[in-house]
Structure formats: structure tokens, C-alpha cells
Structure 1
Amino acid sequence: MELRRGKNIAFTIICGVFLLIVRMVVNSSYSFMVPYKLQIILAIFFLIYGLALAFWEIKNDQPLFWGAGRSIFNIGVINSSMIVGASIFFFASNALYGLCAFGVEIALYAFISIFEWK
């Protein structure tokens, strides 16, 4: 595994931990009132999109922050790490689900990052 992919995996872990902590704080304040089924649909969408984006980043040899300022909505950093972190956020309806999603998604992201997809 080359260093750039190690940085992608580390950034995915950082984003996942940060968004998992944010979700736990939001869950404790009861301010996130989205139906459970909608959360799962959003989580699955972001997971599939994030992993597909990871394949694309590896295949096209994109740098870690390839989407900084060039995204569709011009909102800053958009890469597969952020999308996978968003998926973890929506999966975390409670702490156990969030930790399970975090572990599985980081393992999948690391597994995808190990291989050359050319």
C-alpha cells in the first residue's frame, strides 16, 4: 500500500470518528428528527456513492483532496472519505450501530484501497 492511499484511509478514519461523535451528540439532544427508514436509505446511498467514488479516485490516480473547491456546489472538500463519513453519520442511529458501521466501512475502504483498479 502506497503512502497516498494510507493518507486516504487515515482521513476516512478521521472523518468517520468526527461524524460519529457529532451524531452521538446530536442523538443525545434529540434534535435530529429524521425517520429511521430515511436515515438507512441515505446511509446506503452515501456508502455506495462513497465506495464508487473511491474506485474512481484510485483508477484515475486522484490526490487526497482532488475535489477541493471544484465540487458541483462549490462547497469545499469533496472526496470519497467525506462521503463514507456521511454514511457513518446516517447509520449511527445509536452508538452500537454507529460503531459497527464505522468498523465495516473503514475495513471496506481499506480493502478497496489496497488493490490497483486500472
Structure 2
Amino acid sequence: MELKRGKNIAFTVICGVFLLIVRIILNSTCSFMVPYKIQITLGVFFLIYGLALAFWEIKNELPLFWGAGSSLFNIGAVNSSMIVGASIFFFASNAVHGLCAFGIEIALYALISVFEWK
């Protein structure tokens, strides 16, 4: 078995670290006031959606940034790495929870990327 989607895993790590740092800063300034149950619900939703999207990307052999979104300023991209990173943001109600979620989700994403899902 070889890791064929190294760029996706690296981008997942980058997105996860960035959003984890943002969330830790928001937690320290008390400016992110969302109830804990809603945070966990959003985290689980984004995790399931991101992993399902990863399966679909692998099955269809899509590149790293396969879906450039057309927004008001014609910027944006869609991929499973960004969605999994968003779930890390919502799981990080404190630094320990965020680091645990980061480790588990990166491991799951790497495990999915090892196998051929055809």
C-alpha cells in the first residue's frame, strides 16, 4: 500500500492547524459563544461530510482543488481537506479537545487515502 494522496493529507494538516490556531485564539478572547452541543453537532456533520467527500474524490480521481467555486469575487475552492479542517475548528472547544480531534481526523483521512476505493 502506498499513499497516493499526499498533497491532500498535507493540505488537511495545514487547514487543520490553521483553524485550530484560530479557534484557540477565539477561545482565549471569549468571542466564539456557541453552545457546546451545537459545536459538537457541527463538528460531527463536517467530519462525516468531509470523509464522504474524500471517498468520492478518491473514487473519481479528482485533483487537490477540484471545485473552484464561483462566488461574488470569483474565489473559493471545495475539497474534503477544507471540510475536515472545519470540523476540527468546531471540535476544539478547548486546546486538548482540538489536538485530539486533529490527531484522530488526520489519521482517519490518511487511512482513507491509503486504500483504493473503486
The Cα RMSD (Å) is: 1.4
Q: Does the CA-based 8 Å contact 2:3-2:113 persist in structure 1?
A: no
Q: TM-score normalized by structure 2?
A: 0.93
Distance in 2 (alpha carbons) for counterparts of 1:89 and 1:58? 24
Aligned length: 115
Return 5+ residue gaps in structure 2 as ranges: none
- What does residue 35 of structure 2 align with? 35
Q: Decide whether aligned partners of structure 1 residues 111 and 70 sit closer, same or farther in structure 2, where only a CA change above 3 A counts.
A: farther
Q: Secondary structure at the match of 1:56?
A: helix
Q: Secondary structure at the match of 1:100?
A: helix
Large movers: runs of 4+ above 2 Å:
none
Return 5+ residue gaps in structure 1 as ranges: none
Distance in 1 (alpha carbons) for counterparts of 2:26 and 2:12? 21
Q: Give the partner amino acid of 1:84.
A: V
| Shift of residue 69, structure 1, vs aligned partner | 2.3
Q: Decide whether aligned partners of structure 1 residues 67 and 99 sit closer, same or farther in structure 2, where only a CA change above 3 A counts.
A: same
Q: Give the partner amino acid of 2:117.
A: W
Distance in 2 (alpha carbons) for counterparts of 1:112 and 1:70? 29
- What does residue 19 of structure 2 align with? 19
Q: Give the partner amino acid of 2:47.
A: L
- What does residue 56 of structure 2 align with? 56
Alignment identity in percent? 80
